[in-house]
Structure 1
Amino acid sequence: MAKAKGKEKKSREKESDFQERVVQIRRVTKVVKGGKKLSFRAIVVVGNEKGQVGVGVGKASDVIGAVKKGVADGKKHLIEVPLTKANSIPHPSTASGGGAKVMMRPAAPGTGVIAGGAVRTVLELAGVKNILAKQLGSGNPLNNARAAVSALSGLRTLSDVAQERDIPVEKLYGV
């Protein structure tokens, strides 16, 4: 019985490794035959600050239920982010989601996370410490968060590119 409790504790610790931050909670209504039905939509960013991050959306009749559903959705849509030794991204990247466009550039150590809104939350929970980012177009938090995740998922390291091309990493430098 003691072993079973130990396993449960480890699995809980593994799950609690992820942090979750609520980006937005919005009250939404649906017009039905008897009047208006009130519910809540929560946009949640989930990440472990070690290169894994995801954005989730949850809808429920109460705020707590919406946040729980958003966390579950975010964990389903996790992506891996390649980080450099300086906790930055390997190369500049842009992506769009809906009407939002996000531009990201790597930065030198000590720069910090220079980004705003939902993009900042996504980058912090991904574990990026030095980056320059800009939101262009729409200010919608959901579209900006999805655009940020899309930009991060498109990143590739030198070793990834060398492996795809079946050449050694040294050859990429042109030596």
Structure 2
Amino acid sequence: FSAIVTVGDGKGKVGVAMGKANEIADAIRKGGEGARAAQISVPMQNDTIPYQVVGRFGASRVLLKPASPGTGVIAAGGVRAILEAAGVKNILTKQLGSRNPNNVVKATMDGLRQLRTVEDFAAKRGLSVPEVLGLPKPSGRKAAPAPAEAAAETAETKES
């Protein structure tokens, strides 16, 4: 017998493994041990994934799209089990290509492995998090003067 086992803490960690044995209970036990050892961390923002990603394994592809709060987990079979074990509350998914359950589960895990946090991108690029997000860079000087004040300052500098 063989069993695909998913384990997760509901807080962003999930693992999947296959256990094989002559007895069903032994296959599930082996799969659980392997899944606990193979757990990965899934970056999340507001109970969903940070951006769209496509996981691939063999001829199976799984599209994972972030969703707004209240959407729920729109997924089928093994994909739903993995996402719920990881603690994802809002997500849209689509299985593309082969729907072989083993390959779909592996494609889903591939997609989740591809996800990175903003901090990861910032460290890789040697930038700060606000720079990666395109936010204005905080500076040590005071805020720019209003246009009327700026005109008065330029008039004072011309007089001297």
Instruction: Verify same fold: TM over 0.5.
Output: yes
Aligned amino acid, residue 76 of structure 2: G
1:63 matched to 2:24? The reply is yes
Matches within 5 A, 1:6-17: none
| Percent of aligned pairs with the same amino acid | 47
Question: In the aligned structure 2, how far is the partner of 1:135 from the partner of 1:117?
Answer: 10
For residues 93 and 55 of structure 1, what CA distance do their matches in structure 2 show?
A: 19
Q: 1:101 aligns with which of 42, 46, 61?
A: 61
Larger-gyration structure (1/2): 2
How far, CA to CA, are the matches of 1:101 and 1:162 in structure 2?
28
User: Are 1:83 and 2:44 an aligned pair?
Assistant: yes
1:49-108 deviations in Å (ceiling 9; x for gaps)? 111111110111111001001101111211110011x20000100011122100011000
From the two aligned structures, give the one with the greater strand fraction: 1
Query: 1:160: how far off?
Result: 1.4
Aligned to 1:52: 13
Q: Distance in 1 between matches of 2:20 and 2:120?
A: 38
Q: Which runs of 5+ in 1 are unaligned?
A: 1-39
Structure-1-length-normalised TM-score: 0.74
TM-score by length of 2: 0.81
d(CA) in 2 for partners of 1:129 and 1:118? Answer: 16
Runs of 4+ in 1 over 2 A off after TM superposition: none
Residue equivalent to 1:173: 133
Which of 101, 116, 122 aligns to 1:156? It is: 116
Alignment coverage as a number of residue pairs: 135
Q: Distance in 2 between matches of 1:53 and 1:88?
A: 14
Consecutive unaligned residues of structure 2, counting only runs of 5 or more, are 137-160
RMSD: 1.0
Amino acid at match of 2:23: D
Q: 1:131 aligns with which of 87, 91, 94?
A: 91
Distance in 2 of aligned mates of 1:90 and 1:140? 27
One-letter amino acid of the counterpart of residue 70, structure 1: G
